[in-house]
Structure 1
Amino acid sequence: MSHRLDRFLVIGAGPTGLVVARALKQAGIPYDQVDADDDVGGNWRHGVYTTAHIISSRRTTSFPEYPMPAHYPDFPSRAQMLAYLCDYARHFGLYAHIEFRKEVVAASPLADWSWQVKLADGEQRQYKGVIVCNGHHWDRRFPTYPGTFMGEWVHSKDYRRPEQLVGKRVLVIGGGNSACDIASEAARVAVCSHLSLRRGYWFLPKTMFGIPTVEMMRGWIPVPVQRAVLRLCLRVIVGRYAQYGLPEPDHRIFERHPTVNSELLHYLKHGRIRPRPDVARLEGQTVHFVDGTTDEYDLVVCATGFHVSFPFLPPGMVEVKGSTAQLYAGMVPPRTRNLYIFGTTQPRYGFGPLASPAADLLAQLLELQDAMTLPLSVVFEASGEQLPTTHLVDPHAALRRMRLARYLTPLLVRKERRLRTSPKVGAMTMWMPPQAI
């Protein structure tokens, strides 16, 4: 076994793994980094269809310490995003620390809360701690219906290029961004494109008045005012969703992740996309809908999201409620030490402006932990820190909280000193480490 107790292991070299590596390097914190792929990029390299463009704008997606090139469009393509992430890694000298084609299959704490890591090739290493940046767009979530579908039944993760849709009767299940993108591509090349919706969604155009929609809402505008402004703009620009055959939303804007797509309503009005209700049951290649109607399809694409999961960690170590990982400060699992989970939340726009300060805050927490006897997770819990109830994040509010936290986190050291002899802390139970891998 290779002993590397002076450093952390960063798992993943996608956008979140890269920004964490940059923060650790700049803070002088030793680390190794591994990724199962053959280069950086994560989902943008192996999990996104070739025609994808970001739904957030260039400005609200790029890392503030390394802006995207000025010649990029407002909505960069998959190829441009991948090139940007590779440039980011080169610019900050991150490649030297990354080992590619190294998949982590198990990571478990030892009695002293160092971490034993096993790789797919059988190699075992021991680290001071582990920082998980494995993303949350890879563990496919499929819907379940009575019956069996005898045509092609795939997840949106398996969709790669329009050729998969040519000449087919296509049903897309879901109302999120991937669902609308795939349904719009099917509208161009398939025999038919139908979109099954279980409920009403907020569909926002990618631009309003020539401005990316995500850039219209300023941080100083209260959320209720943002909602009112967007509703007014949508009524003027779009009209009522019922005019497109869509159900009206069953929630307020931002209570669920809005869908940002300018093509869906266009193709609905042209008859190239047909809205359908929720699926009731499956029978051969026939799909029965809850309104009693039926249709036959060659291909069903389930754009039904992903599970948040960490298959290489011991079962139960990181609790996930719905889509929300139970983490203090969005990074620290309860009752653990030297384990950090990064990048499980879903902001209303791109990753860069939030990920960068969050990574810097993580580096600060690692240094604070070295100054403490008690685990950070215990200090958070004993101090009354609340676990999240949703994975959705208001980016402006989150930025304000992180700026404040950068100044207040040193106070955790004082709290930890007072808590060491507290009966409340003494009664807490840590997660029990299993036997070595």
Structure 2
Amino acid sequence: MTDYDALIVGGGQSGLAAAHHLRARGMNPAILEAWDEPAGSWPHYYDSLTLFSPAKYSSLPGLPFPGNPGRYPRRDEVVDYLRHYAKTVDADIHTGTRVLAVDHDGRTFTAHTDTGATFTAPRMIAATGGFGSPHHPDLPGLGTYTGTVQHVSDYRRPDDYAGQSVIVVGAGNSAVQIAAELADVAEEVVLASRSPVKFVPQRPWGRDMHFWFTVTGLGIAPIGSLLKSPPTVPVFDTGRYKAALAAGAPHVRAMFTALDIDQSVWPDGTRTRVDTVLLATGYTPHLPYLAGMGALTDTGHPRHRAGLSTTHPGLGYLGLEWQRSLSSASLRGVGRDARHLVGRLGRVRSS
């Protein structure tokens, strides 16, 4: 058993930002990371993933993103940045250590891991994001469908779908980006959603939108706890994706009404063959290790306010969508949330 001032479950962008602020307050944290390196889910995202925020606005606390500040970093650049950032954080990082369950006796958290080791601390930050819990909606006719159903968490590159008829379900940034690149190699690609795709300009008035978010405070305003339900985030676009959809690459249709063997049934009654249904339907917080504590709702979501648990003193969350602001689950925003959360958790007495 190893004792620390704080345990951080998850060694991605949220966990690393938390460790930085804990160390700044003189605390001794441990990061417990299930993967074999502290880079979170980034190495497992699709190959072409590109940030929607420039490098200038995509840094964790204490280490600017390298290179041209106006460029939009790709996945592998983010992975390299996180690897480097982890080396600058003065904390014990236990990789290959998956937390299976957590106990709390009222003062101390005990994390039980798949290695057999246990770790204890008076504070715990759950920073495991949602990649481990992709949302799979209940599609009508799924039981009879003979094709492939995948979530975008399994998607890597378009060449794997060459010659196929693919339906991408969703209307967000990932759905549009993936559908557009699939249209170059697949026989047919349809972007299907229950609501229309909404675009916002990437660079209004010649400046990236994150510049305007910063100067207006819109992107950092702590309004997340005031929202009854998170709003739909529009697709950020330079005009490329809007033009692709207008050109039918991919085609855009209202959500199909059913799947039937190897076909999709559309609202107008027409049918088309479909080889793969690719779900760009988001994620839910991945917190199975807290399931036995009473810290979660019946749907597995954390009970919290602005990241601070409302059920267990000393427990906090980072990286949740709209935790405090529009940017809470992003590189550009998680540092602010981490500073706020650590400041609140710092008031917890050590046992």
Q: Same fold (TM over 0.5)?
A: yes
Aligned to 2:103: 108
Q: Give the conservation status (yes or no) of the 8 Å contact 1:62–1:351.
A: no
Work out the CA distance in 2 between the residues paired with 1:220 and 1:160. Answer: 36
1:263 CA displacement: 3.3
Aligned to 1:293: 270
Q: Deviations over 1:299-333 (max 9, x none)?
A: 110111111241001347233588974312x1221
Q: Give the conservation status (yes or no) of the 8 Å contact 1:108–1:314.
A: no
Work out the CA distance in 2 between the residues paired with 1:366 and 1:256. Answer: 30
2:35 to 19, 37, 54: 37
Moved more, 272-281 or 359-368: 359-368
* Residue identity opposite 1:54 in structure 2: L
1:343 to 316, 319, 333: 319
Aligned to 1:141: 135
Q: Give the conservation status (yes or no) of the 8 Å contact 1:12–1:35.
A: yes
The residue correspondences of 1:183-262 to structure 2 (distance < 5 A) are 183-220=179-216, 255-261=231-237, 262=239
Q: Give the conservation status (yes or no) of the 8 Å contact 1:325–1:344.
A: no
1:82 CA displacement: 1.0
1:306 to 263, 283, 295: 283
* Residue identity opposite 1:106 in structure 2: A
Aligned to 1:80: 77
Q: Give the conservation status (yes or no) of the 8 Å contact 1:35–1:99.
A: yes
The residue correspondences of 1:348-359 to structure 2 (distance < 5 A) are 348-349=326-327, 351-359=330-338
Q: Is 1:364 aligned with 2:343? A: yes
Q: Deviations over 1:200-230 (max 9, x none)?
A: 232124333543233234543789xxxxxxx
1:257 CA displacement: 1.3
Q: Deviations over 1:151-184 (max 9, x none)?
A: 1110011101122221111110110111111101
Q: CA 1:255–1:7 in structure 2 vs 1: closer, same or farther (change >3 Å)?
A: closer
Work out the CA distance in 2 between the residues paired with 1:222 and 1:118. Answer: 40
Q: Give the conservation status (yes or no) of the 8 Å contact 1:324–1:344.
A: no
Q: Give the conservation status (yes or no) of the 8 Å contact 2:130–2:286.
A: yes
Unaligned residue ranges in structure 1 (runs of 5+) = 224-253, 374-437
Aligned to 1:429: none
Q: Deviations over 1:230-255 (max 9, x none)?
A: xxxxxxxxxxxxxxxxxxxxxxxx94
Q: Give the conservation status (yes or no) of the 8 Å contact 1:34–1:98.
A: yes
1:73 CA displacement: 5.0
RMSD of Structure 2 on Structure 1 (CA): 2.5
Q: Secondary structure at the match of 1:276?
A: strand
1:150 CA displacement: 1.0
Work out the CA distance in 1 between the residues paired with 2:22 and 2:217. Answer: 34
Q: Is 1:151 aligned with 2:147? A: yes
Q: Give the conservation status (yes or no) of the 8 Å contact 1:187–1:267.
A: no
Q: Give the conservation status (yes or no) of the 8 Å contact 1:60–1:351.
A: no
Q: Give the conservation status (yes or no) of the 8 Å contact 1:39–1:100.
A: yes
Q: CA 1:367–1:213 in structure 2 vs 1: closer, same or farther (change >3 Å)?
A: closer
Unaligned residue ranges in structure 2 (runs of 5+) = 220-229
1:70 to 67, 90, 112: 67
Work out the CA distance in 1 between the residues paired with 2:176 and 2:27. Answer: 42
Q: Secondary structure at the match of 1:355?
A: helix
Q: Secondary structure at the match of 2:180?
A: helix
1:294 CA displacement: 1.8
Q: Is 1:267 aligned with 2:231? A: no
Q: Secondary structure at the match of 1:340?
A: strand
Q: Which has the higher helix share?
A: 1
1:331 to 307, 311, 315: 307
Work out the CA distance in 1 between the residues paired with 2:213 and 2:5. Answer: 41
* Residue identity opposite 2:267 in structure 1: V
1:71 CA displacement: 2.6
Aligned to 1:382: none
TM-score by length of 1: 0.71
Number of equivalent positions? 335
Q: Give the conservation status (yes or no) of the 8 Å contact 2:295–2:312.
A: no
TM-score by length of 2: 0.87
Q: Give the conservation status (yes or no) of the 8 Å contact 2:128–2:285.
A: no
- How many percent identity over aligned positions? 24
Aligned to 2:58: 61
Q: Give the conservation status (yes or no) of the 8 Å contact 2:122–2:349.
A: no
Moved more, 356-365 or 272-281: 356-365
* Residue identity opposite 2:216 in structure 1: W
Q: Deviations over 1:325-358 (max 9, x none)?
A: 4312x12211312221122133434734432232
Work out the CA distance in 2 between the residues paired with 1:266 and 1:215. Answer: 24
Work out the CA distance in 2 between the residues paired with 1:221 and 1:335. Answer: 31
* Residue identity opposite 1:274 in structure 2: H
Work out the CA distance in 2 between the residues paired with 1:98 and 1:176. Answer: 34
* Residue identity opposite 1:289 in structure 2: W
Work out the CA distance in 2 between the residues paired with 1:348 and 1:339. Answer: 22
Q: Whose Rg is larger?
A: 1
